[in-house]
A and B are shown apart, each in its own frame.
Chain A
Amino acid sequence: MIATLLRIGFLNLKRDRVALSLKFLLPIVFFSIFASVFGGRGDDQTARIDIGVVDEDHSEFSARLAAGLAQEKGLRVRTTADGKPGTLLDRASAEQAVRSGDVPVAVVLPARLGESFANNGLSGRSGVSIKLLSDVSDPIAPQMVLGLLQKVTMTAAPDLLVRGGLRQFETHAGAMTPQQRTAVDAWLPQLKPGAGAAGGADGSGGAGTGAGGMAVGVEVVDVMRAGSNRGSLISFYAAGVGVMFLLFSSVAGAGGALLEEAEAGTLERLLSTNMGLTRLLAGKWIFLTLGGVAQLTVMFLWGTAVFGLPLFSHLPGFFVMTAATASAAAALGLVLATLARTREQLSGFSTILVLTMSALGGSMFPRFLMSEGLQKVGLFTFNAWAVDGYLKVFWRNAPLWQLWPQVLVLCGCTAVFLAAARGLARRWESA
């Protein structure tokens, strides 16, 4: 008897491709995405962090630090405004680059850094410290740059580090003897990066042992919190979660709008009024879009009331992004509803697609956690563009015109999806 039940279950499962996909394919897809993001598949898969470096000191030490950072595998350093040869970054343009999201971190090597280092080593008494301009919407990048900066400080200028230390020693313990001075002068060149005695500036060698446990003075400056958008990080979660559920509701709504009507016969009845499929789809799309706008508005209002999301100070940008996102989600819902033959098919297929798009597109966790390859793949989902747009509005206080790439992509998606849905809906036209 149990064998019969097993046979029934097996036959049902074998013939239900959607159930098979949900059972085996979806877990594999998700496992792969999460493993790629959080597990890593080797160092070469780790995302490189874009940073700006501003050298206000122009000393040998600052130059060596900048060069050391540039050679770090985990960093992609830019020293000019647009990353190409041209105007060098200054503090203001570097801060703007962080604010606009071009780079998550900028390292400012302030004037007198080299002098301070030469005089004081790493004691930081002079109060001259490196500034790390950061955007805390990406909490990983500043920490990573901070760590690499410490390492580079040690490995890029061990000779200068020792020289500063000796100077401190002489200040407090008395001058070295001529013999000691001679010996030190002969030793110090060997500490220079590339001299072979104590590591190099390629980031692979160790620092001078005498510097162990010391740290360069670094001040982390959150450039985003310097403004009035405190609490705006909530917008990331609101956007990510909102877009994911918008997709779910749009697909379900479109399924209800088309497949359910086709099954119930109301679609046939509607078409018999000569309204035409194009007008029918347009009506469904507008309804789904309005529903999506309402859904996101309610969610952001809740975020405003409970979590202090600054919705009312960003209304124009919010509505532009919400309209663009909701219209694209509605159009995608129509594509899936016209593609599927049954609601079961739609449900299974859309679950796989929406969850995958949400994972890759940054709705579940920030895309900066992903490898560069996955980040690029994520750009094929409109979640990524929608979330980026909301972040521009709420986090970066970007003016409306700066939303054009996101709006353009979302509107393009809408047009393509609507055209695809219209083509797929031909099966409901006269046979």
Chain B
Amino acid sequence: MTDVLTVRGATKSYGATRALDGASFELREGELLALLGPNGAGKTTLIRAISGRVRLDAGEIRVFDRVLDGRHTPKELGIVPQEIAVYSMLTARENLEVFGGLHGLTGGDLTRQVDWALEGTGLADRAREPVRQFSGGMRRRLNIACGVLHRPRVVLLDEPTVGVDPQSRDRIYDLLAALAASGVSLLLTTHHIEEAEARCARTVILDHGKVIAAGTTPELVDQTIGRFRFVSLRLNRPLPADAHAQLGSRPGVALDPADAALITARLTDVATELPPLLEAIRTSGGTVEDVDVRGPSLQSVFIHLTGKDLRE
């Protein structure tokens, strides 16, 4: 796939604070890419730099192989800010007409695109209501519609699903998936890591202004914590103390001192390592009531890479 957006060595400081410290990554055509990072990692600065609203101290950003000057927004870009950047006294349709007009849409083309955006965001039946009467989810969807209705080839979304209910979130991701399927490239920042894992093709993790990992979730897992599985076994009753201690001595097995009926294990190969563990429990007199097997998640990778310390 062709790279539509490339960031190379992006560096930006505000006084003594280095917001970006040589960040590099690329966005491919038709890709939905998640940009993750703790608060203060530099995500918003990076998005603003790509939007032409921040001038880099060093490095370069290319959109369709054109280097950005940091003063102008490339016309191929659509921007969906974190704030609900719409006029609350205007109706949904009026907002879309305003922003479509500012992006150069006119006449029948503007009307068609407004209708398309209203349909895509599920706002068609509320199009003539003032936005101030909308729920948070509706406003968020309109916010996205305003950023994509002029047919941008690259869309930047800063926390597009913050504060919305699961239904609105699904609707938003369905819209983004449809855009990606039509060849639009999307870069989104989010703190909902499970969403990024489920919905995005690749993930870029940014911390302290640097890209510290990038790839698909399996690739990130391989690069960081490896492909093990977490297995949780819930027993019908606590095992005798000696049997419990004997199980705890097995490789990868962890015991919870407060809960003798729970056994957890980190297994590299579930198919070969789980049956002997089950057999050991059975011979110890235990009966397994519930088994939970989970692979390493993007959340695990994120915490592994960025740590658990608060950043702000």
Chain A residues close to B by CB (< 8 Å): 263-266, 268-275, 430-431
B-side interface mostly:
loop
Q: Is the CB of B79 within 8 A of A266?
A: no
Residues of A within 8 A of B177 (CB): none
What distance in Å separates the Cβ of B71 from its nearest Cβ neighbour in chain A? Answer: 5
Check: B136 CB closer than 8 A to any chain A CB: no
Q: Is the CB of A266 within 8 A of B86?
A: yes
Q: Is the CB of B102 within 8 A of A265?
A: no
Q: Are A264 and B84 CB-contacts (below 8 A) given A272-B79, A430-B70? A: yes
Q: Is the CB of A272 within 8 A of B146?
A: no
Q: Are A266 and B73 CB-contacts (below 8 A) given A272-B53, A273-B102, A430-B55? A: no
A258-B48 Cα distance, complex, nearest whole Å: 19
Check: B52 CB closer than 8 A to any chain A CB: yes
A268-B85 Cα distance, complex, nearest whole Å: 8
Of listed A272, A273, A430, residue having the most chain B CB within 10 A:
A272
Residues of B within 8 A of A274 (CB): 52, 72-73, 75
What distance in Å separates the Cβ of B88 from its nearest Cβ neighbour in chain A? Answer: 8
Across the A-B interface, the 9 shortest Cβ-Cβ residue pairs: A265-B83, A265-B85, A273-B102, A269-B85, A272-B73, A265-B81, A266-B85, A272-B79, A431-B54
Check: B82 CB closer than 8 A to any chain A CB: yes
Check: B103 CB closer than 8 A to any chain A CB: yes
A275-B52 Cα distance, complex, nearest whole Å: 13
Residues of A within 8 A of B85 (CB): 264-266, 268-269
Chain B residues close to A by CB (< 8 Å): 14, 48, 51-55, 70-73, 75, 77, 79, 81-88, 99, 102-103, 146-147
A153-B14 Cα distance, complex, nearest whole Å: 78
What distance in Å separates the Cβ of B89 from its nearest Cβ neighbour in chain A? Answer: 10
A430-B50 Cα distance, complex, nearest whole Å: 11
Residues of A within 8 A of B83 (CB): 263-265, 268
Residues of B within 8 A of A269 (CB): 79, 81, 85, 99, 146-147
What distance in Å separates the Cβ of A281 from its nearest Cβ neighbour in chain B? Answer: 16
B88 — nearest CB in chain A belongs to which residue?
Answer: A264
Residues of A within 8 A of B75 (CB): 274
What distance in Å separates the Cβ of A283 from its nearest Cβ neighbour in chain B? Answer: 11
A263-B147 Cα distance, complex, nearest whole Å: 18
What distance in Å separates the Cβ of A9 from its nearest Cβ neighbour in chain B? Answer: 29
Residues of B within 8 A of A430 (CB): 52-55, 70-71
Q: Is the CB of A431 within 8 A of B53?
A: yes
B87 — nearest CB in chain A belongs to which residue?
Answer: A266
B12 — nearest CB in chain A belongs to which residue?
Answer: A431
What distance in Å separates the Cβ of B266 from its nearest Cβ neighbour in chain A? Answer: 44
What distance in Å separates the Cβ of A255 from its nearest Cβ neighbour in chain B? Answer: 15
Q: Please, could you name 30 A-B residue pairs with CB atoms under 8 Å apart, sorted by A?
A: A264-B83, A264-B85, A264-B88, A265-B81, A265-B82, A265-B83, A265-B84, A265-B85, A266-B85, A266-B87, A268-B53, A268-B81, A268-B85, A269-B79, A269-B99, A269-B147, A272-B52, A272-B53, A272-B73, A272-B77, A272-B79, A273-B73, A274-B52, A274-B72, A274-B73, A430-B55, A430-B71, A431-B14, A431-B48, A431-B55
